[in-house]
Structure 1
Amino acid sequence: MLYIGIDLGTSAVKLLLMDALGDIKKIVSKEYPIFFPHTGWSEQNPEDWYNATIAGLKELTSDCDRTQINGLSFSGQMHGLVLLDEKDQVIRPAILWNDGRTQKECDYLNNEIGREKLSQYTANIALTGFTAPKILWVKNNEPDNFNKIKKIMLPKDYLAYRLTGNHCTDVSDASGMLLLDVKNKCWSKEMIQILGISEDQLASVHESSDVIGTVKESVANDLGFSNNVHVIMGGGDQAVAAVGTGTVGDGMCNISLGTSGVVFIASKSFAVDEHNALHAFAHADHKYHLMGVTLSAAASNKWWMDEIIGTKDYATEQKGITELGKNNVFFLPYLMGERTPHNNPDARGTFIGMTMNTTREDMTQAVLEGVAYSLRDCLDIARSLGVKIERTRINGGGAKSPLWKKIIANVMNVTVDTINSEEGPAFGAAILACVGCKEYATVEEATSKLIQVIDSVEPDSTLVAAYEEQYKKFVQLYPALKGVFEVMK
């Protein structure tokens, strides 16, 4: 049988077709526009998502026996707000995860409702990207639209609705709304009251591998599918990407070195750090996860290479870096502000420690090390909760650098594993489709059979000790510069 993973991203939808053994048959991508009607705003038309997905499904399955398609599932950009009226028509363009219009609403939630209460209700605090502040913004600024709301949905859930006719969501994606009682995996009655909505306006909550229906007959006929293709709920992009790397179960860790950097830790138990520096979300494997984000990871290296040095030959620039753990130059990778642990949009990228002896290689090394230190900030918070992490998987564009993986292994004192798949969210969604269709009993069983480690970088005790001293210096830099960032904004 064949399975489809649909990854609804910010710039494109990526679709993957594979069999139950994880053999990928075809991958298709379809782009759609993003709109910026005002400075700091970011919106999309949900109809564009649907049209691109349908076109992608037709192309993806054009060369296969469509009667063999058994199930499909989703990974989706998180936090976006899709509003439907009583006729299930979209009321206004979707407000996306990277939209920054809700600072006033976040200040109200964090300061007047209070961070402690928000954490008690949802395990998290308000950030401008989250969904609940967006609902408040619509209530405060577009009351006519607010009064039309029949259903509040997330981006991938809208796709699932269009394919099945059912209003559903999953625990991992809903965790990023600031509306879910994450510990108990149900809607927070307190947050519903604070937002002035009703539970009937929210979708039913499912686990990510639950079957939520079959593809509607009209859609199936258009696609050339049989009438019994199962639709599996899927999850938020980070959780489903973690499934795609096998980061499930208890104590498994994955580091994503993409544009942003993510430390994702799977856990069988619910946990929240006292400062809410890490996101505490439900996972797509029926358990929980902690997640820390540094906003400029591979983006920092790309900026340094492309804009400052002026080269695309990243590997050559790294060849001259031979001495680790001794660099006197430090880099704070806060080019777009910072999320974890500082939650400070005013933080800025900073080099410090240069002398007349500083070389080009020192600066390049400082960028790689600065990102590793920032990711360690995230990891150490998880360790403070008693989570034991001795190895991590790694993916993303930055993971192609052997040097960067060696630096991370020694800065964090963990074994860094590379796996046999680079497809991430779309692959993870296809795995969830397999589990939902009973090809595998659990998500853990599926990932253990479909994902293998193909390379590992072990930490070196000498370098670990050297980087421990370097990290002690790094953690002093942000507190010393925080006041400077304030006056520079």
Structure 2
Amino acid sequence: MYYIGIDLGTSAVKLLLVDEEGSITSTVSKSYAVEYPRPGWSQQNPADWWEAVTAGARELMAGVDTAQVRAIGTGGQMHGLVALDAAGEVIRPCILWNDGRTEEEVCFLNETIGRERLSGLAGNIAFAGFTAPKLLWMRKHEPDNFARIAHIMLPKDYLTFRLTGEFATDYSDASGTLLLDVEHRCWSAEMLEICGVSEAQMPRLMDGAEAVGTLSAAAAQELGLPAGTVVAAGAGDNAAAAVGCGAVAAGSCNISLGTSGTIFIPSDGFRVDAHNALHSFDYVEGRYHLMGCILSAASCSGWFVGDVLKAEDFDAEEAASDPAVATVDLPYFLPYLMGERSPHNDTAARGAFVGMRADTSRAQMVRAVREGVAFAIRDCVEVARGEDIRIERSTLCGGGSKSALMRQTLANVLNIELDLPETEQGPGYGAAMLAMVAAGDAPSVEACVGRIVRMRGSVVPDPQAVAAYEERYQIWRQMYPALKPIYRQMAR
């Protein structure tokens, strides 16, 4: 039997075909465009996602008996606002997770409604990427479009709708809307009222390992798959990645280095950190998690090495940038290319090189970019440690984890051991595992993890480098507070 996992990313969708033993038999990736209509804005056409999925599915199943496909699961980019009218048609392009147009709305929610009230209603304060501020923005700037909204959903849930005709979401993804009462796992009536929408417009809430329905006849024809194939509710990309890496039980941890970077800490009970610097979200099978998210992670290297240096050999650039131990007199990098979410919640923040000298080399700047990402992840880890959460090791996934130098740098900066899953397809693999459970072919997500998730090795921190990076981090962490007032002036 086979299971399809769909990872709806920001720049591409990846489809995985997984057998009952957890082996990936084929993968397909299809890219699509991101629109940047104004500086700091980002949006996509949901029709492009579906076109990529349908083309990818037929390619994925080439030479495979499609009758053996049992179930489909989806994982995807979180927070995006997909608005449909009564006919199920997309009203406007999806406003993405890294879009920064909602600064005014975020300020209204956090300052006028109030952080304490938001935290009590939804377990979180407002961040620019969340869905609720986007609804407020749409109500103010596109009132005609706002009046047409019949269904509000998240990116992966649009795929679920196209697959099944059902309007549903899972708890992990719904947590990032700021419309969910995370602790009690239901839509917050007060948050819906604040945003001017009703529960009737919201998707049905489900566990990620539950079956939403089955593949409709129309979707089956488009994808070349059997009608009646089970479709799981799925999960937000970070929750799906954590499942795919085996970080399900309390006490585990997963770090993902994709376009953005996250640290994901599962727990059995609901908790909120003292300053709402981390997200307090739901997870699978009644669990919760805390999550820190930096908006620019592996994308920083893509920007500097690819766009600025115009280099194509990333490995060669990174290899040339790796002296044995870092020293405090080398340049520093702040990775806030799209503003920042955790822990600063600042849409005005910008990337910066600090400490440049006449003898600063290309190789040193490449290394500074890598270190800056690791330091930003550590900022999130320090918030968790401040809540007496012990993080002694973590799994690691995402495109940025393919770099041996990035892996070692992160282990040294965090001073923890990093476990590397055999399967590096985090969100898509986790989505396929949720599909296994939804189809009844695994008794639980945790049992599925125990059966098929394996590690291929680990990265151990180097004590000498740990000491050097500790010194650099203590200097680096002073730079954002020093630059913050300047960022605010630049944003005017």
Check whether TM > 0.5: yes
Kindly state the Cα deviation for residue 484 of structure 1 after the two structures are TM-superposed.
3.1
Kindly state the Cα deviation for residue 415 of structure 1 after the two structures are TM-superposed.
0.3
Deviates more, 1:34-43 or 1:463-472: 34-43
Q: Deviations over 1:370-421 (max 9, x none)?
A: 2222211111111112221111122233323333322221221100122211
Q: Which amino acid aligns with 1:156?
A: K
Q: Which amino acid aligns with 1:477?
A: M
Q: 1:402 aligns with which of 401, 404, 423?
A: 404
Q: Deviations over 1:104-146 (max 9, x none)?
A: 2222211111111111111122222211122222322333333
CA distance in 2, matches of 1:18, 1:97: 28
Kindly state the Cα deviation for residue 355 of structure 1 after the two structures are TM-superposed.
5.1
Q: Which amino acid aligns with 1:189?
A: A
Residue 438 of structure 1: aligned partner: 440
Q: 1:331 aligns with which of 326, 330, 333?
A: 333
Query: Aligned with 1:264: secondary structure?
Result: strand
CA distance in 1, matches of 2:375, 2:27: 35
> How much is the aligned-residue C-alpha RMSD, in angstroms?
2.4
Residues 49 and 352 of structure 1, relative CA distance in 2, 3 Å threshold: closer
CA distance in 1, matches of 2:486, 2:223: 57
Query: Aligned with 1:98: secondary structure?
Result: coil
CA distance in 2, matches of 1:143, 1:332: 37
Deviates more, 1:218-227 or 1:251-260: 218-227
Q: Which amino acid aligns with 1:46?
A: P
Q: Which amino acid aligns with 1:27?
A: T
Residues 286 and 299 of structure 1, relative CA distance in 2, 3 Å threshold: same
- Runs of 4+ off more than 6 Å: none
Residue 189 of structure 2: aligned partner: 189
CA distance in 1, matches of 2:269, 2:15: 32
Kindly state the Cα deviation for residue 358 of structure 1 after the two structures are TM-superposed.
5.1
Q: Which amino acid aligns with 1:323?
A: A
Residues 133 and 54 of structure 1, relative CA distance in 2, 3 Å threshold: same
Deviates more, 1:469-478 or 1:407-416: 469-478
Kindly state the Cα deviation for residue 359 of structure 1 after the two structures are TM-superposed.
5.2
Kindly state the Cα deviation for residue 362 of structure 1 after the two structures are TM-superposed.
4.1
Kindly state the Cα deviation for residue 430 of structure 1 after the two structures are TM-superposed.
0.8
Residue 14 of structure 2: aligned partner: 14
Residue 125 of structure 2: aligned partner: 125
Deviates more, 1:378-387 or 1:156-165: 156-165
- Tell me, yes or no, if the aligned pair for 1:278 and 1:381 is still in contact at 8 Å: yes
CA distance in 2, matches of 1:418, 1:100: 33
Q: Does residue 105 of the first structure (1) align with residue 105 of the second (2)?
A: yes
Residues 134 and 307 of structure 1, relative CA distance in 2, 3 Å threshold: closer
- Tell me, yes or no, if the aligned pair for 1:327 and 1:366 is still in contact at 8 Å: no
Q: Deviations over 1:184-241 (max 9, x none)?
A: 1110111012122221221110010001111123433554544431111101112112
Kindly state the Cα deviation for residue 19 of structure 1 after the two structures are TM-superposed.
0.8
Q: Deviations over 1:25-61 (max 9, x none)?
A: 2222334444445554433333333333233323322
Residues 364 and 141 of structure 1, relative CA distance in 2, 3 Å threshold: closer
Q: Which amino acid aligns with 1:253?
A: C
- Tell me, yes or no, if the aligned pair for 2:82 and 2:90 is still in contact at 8 Å: yes
Residues 351 and 46 of structure 1, relative CA distance in 2, 3 Å threshold: closer
Deviates more, 1:409-418 or 1:88-97: 88-97
Q: 1:381 aligns with which of 380, 383, 396?
A: 383
Residues 311 and 202 of structure 1, relative CA distance in 2, 3 Å threshold: closer
**Structure 2: 5+ residue runs without aligned partners?**
none
Q: Which amino acid aligns with 1:153?
A: M
Q: Which amino acid aligns with 1:104?
A: E
CA distance in 2, matches of 1:303, 1:190: 41
CA distance in 1, matches of 2:68, 2:222: 16
Residue 464 of structure 1: aligned partner: 466
Q: Deviations over 1:408-458 (max 9, x none)?
A: 212211001222112122111111101111222221221232221112122
- Tell me, yes or no, if the aligned pair for 1:301 and 1:367 is still in contact at 8 Å: yes
**Structure 1: 5+ residue runs without aligned partners?**
none
Kindly state the Cα deviation for residue 479 of structure 1 after the two structures are TM-superposed.
2.0
Residues 266 and 354 of structure 1, relative CA distance in 2, 3 Å threshold: same
Q: Does residue 53 of the first structure (1) align with residue 53 of the second (2)?
A: yes
Residue 171 of structure 2: aligned partner: 171
Query: Aligned with 1:29: secondary structure?
Result: strand
Q: Deviations over 1:135-192 (max 9, x none)?
A: 2223223333333332212222122122222211110111111100111111011101
- Tell me, yes or no, if the aligned pair for 1:271 and 1:385 is still in contact at 8 Å: no
CA distance in 1, matches of 2:308, 2:139: 44
CA distance in 2, matches of 1:353, 1:139: 44
CA distance in 1, matches of 2:115, 2:295: 22
Residues 400 and 160 of structure 1, relative CA distance in 2, 3 Å threshold: closer
Deviates more, 1:189-198 or 1:326-335: 326-335
Normalised TM-score (structure 1)? 0.92
CA distance in 2, matches of 1:470, 1:147: 52
Query: Aligned with 1:13: secondary structure?
Result: strand
- Tell me, yes or no, if the aligned pair for 1:13 and 1:52 is still in contact at 8 Å: yes
Q: Deviations over 1:318-356 (max 9, x none)?
A: 356333253422332233332222222333333334556
Identity %: 50
Q: Does residue 25 of the first structure (1) align with residue 35 of the second (2)?
A: no
